[in-house]
Amino acid sequence: MLELRLVQGSLLKKVVDAIRDLVNDASFDCSATGFSLQAMDSSHVALVALLLRSEGFDHYRCDRNISMGMNLNNMAKMLRCAGNDDIITFKGDDGSDTVSFMFESPTQDKISDFEMKLMDIDSERLGIPEAKYQAIVRMPSTEFARICKDLGSIGDTVVISVTKEGVKFSTRGDIGSANIVCRQNTDVDKPEQATTVEMNDPVSLTFALRYMNSFTKATPLSNQVTISLSSELPVVVEYKIAEMGYVRFYLAPKIEE
Amino acid sequence: DIFQEVLAGYFDSK
């Protein structure tokens, strides 16, 4: 038996919208720790890891570890039927081939029930070791989204370079080239507007902008994004979900040969 | 030429 109740139901909508651009089908795992997911895109270049900790839910019951294969577009269709202020309860049963979503309006005058078919998913899971990164950039998530969108209209790849001057995003395409430098800036009214650059070693890596733009679908989840870079590792683009967990995207770099 | 790496080269399968 599995039962999860989330008063801030819109959060679940945002989570699904954040990842469905990258993966179509995914296996959600439920355990005492929380509701989690790890899925790779079809070309095995990018990976999304989601964690919603059990403590973040208003009610969390998970009697046994359970994996549920879901089509994210179908999930989005169901969740779109919930009002933005609705309370969402998610239920599943061992051995069942469906899950159910219940949406309650804040005043309890409308209650909707939806049942969604599960799917069999043969998912490959990767072990992601804890790592020390050469550089960690924290910046407003809307700013990062804007940069990826702007550069995406000029080129296909972005070079992200971190030096003690700040972080530079560069691209080159048929019509020309672009460089955007963001300097460390902590002198702001609100902490979420700050840009910080933590650098152990300078690093410069190239990534496909198509994937970066896909990651920015998670922007509504968090005011800040953390970009962790190391020349030996895929980049990690992390959106923290307040009091609940995170959505992390991993992307393998492009290399010159 | 620039080639796209895949994740399998960095992370192990569980």
A33-43 average pLDDT score: 95
ipTM summary value: 0.92
User: How does pLDDT run across A145-168, given as a tens digit for each residue?
Assistant: 999 999 999 999 999 999 988 999
User: How does pLDDT run across A91-118, given as a tens digit for each residue?
Assistant: 998 889 999 999 999 999 999 999 999 9
Min distance A25 CA to chain B CA atoms (Å): 18
User: How far is residue A230's CA from residue A131's CA, in Å, rounded to a whole number?
Assistant: 9
A40-60 average pLDDT score: 96
Contact B13, B6 (CB under 8 A): no
User: How far is residue A119's CA from residue A240's CA, in Å, rounded to a whole number?
Assistant: 28
A172 interfaces chain B, CB cutoff of 8 Å? no
Q: What is the pLDDT of residue A84?
A: 94
Q: What is the pLDDT of residue B12?
A: 79
Confidence of residue A38 (pLDDT cuts 50, 70, 90): very high
> Could you tell me which chain B residue has the CA closest to the CA of A254?
B4
A218 interfaces chain B, CB cutoff of 8 Å? no
User: How far is residue A21's CA from residue A16's CA, in Å, rounded to a whole number?
Assistant: 9
The answer to whether the CB atoms of A44 and B7 lie below 8 A apart is yes
The answer to whether the CB atoms of A126 and B3 lie below 8 A apart is no
| pLDDT higher at A238 or A123 | A238
Give the single-character DSSP code of A45: S
Min distance B5 CA to chain A CA atoms (Å): 5
Min distance B8 CA to chain A CA atoms (Å): 8
A237 interfaces chain B, CB cutoff of 8 Å? no
The answer to whether the CB atoms of A234 and B3 lie below 8 A apart is no
Is it the case that residue A87 has pLDDT exceeding 80? yes
Q: What is the pLDDT of residue B2?
A: 85
Average pLDDT, chain A: 95
End-to-end alpha carbon distance in chain B? 32
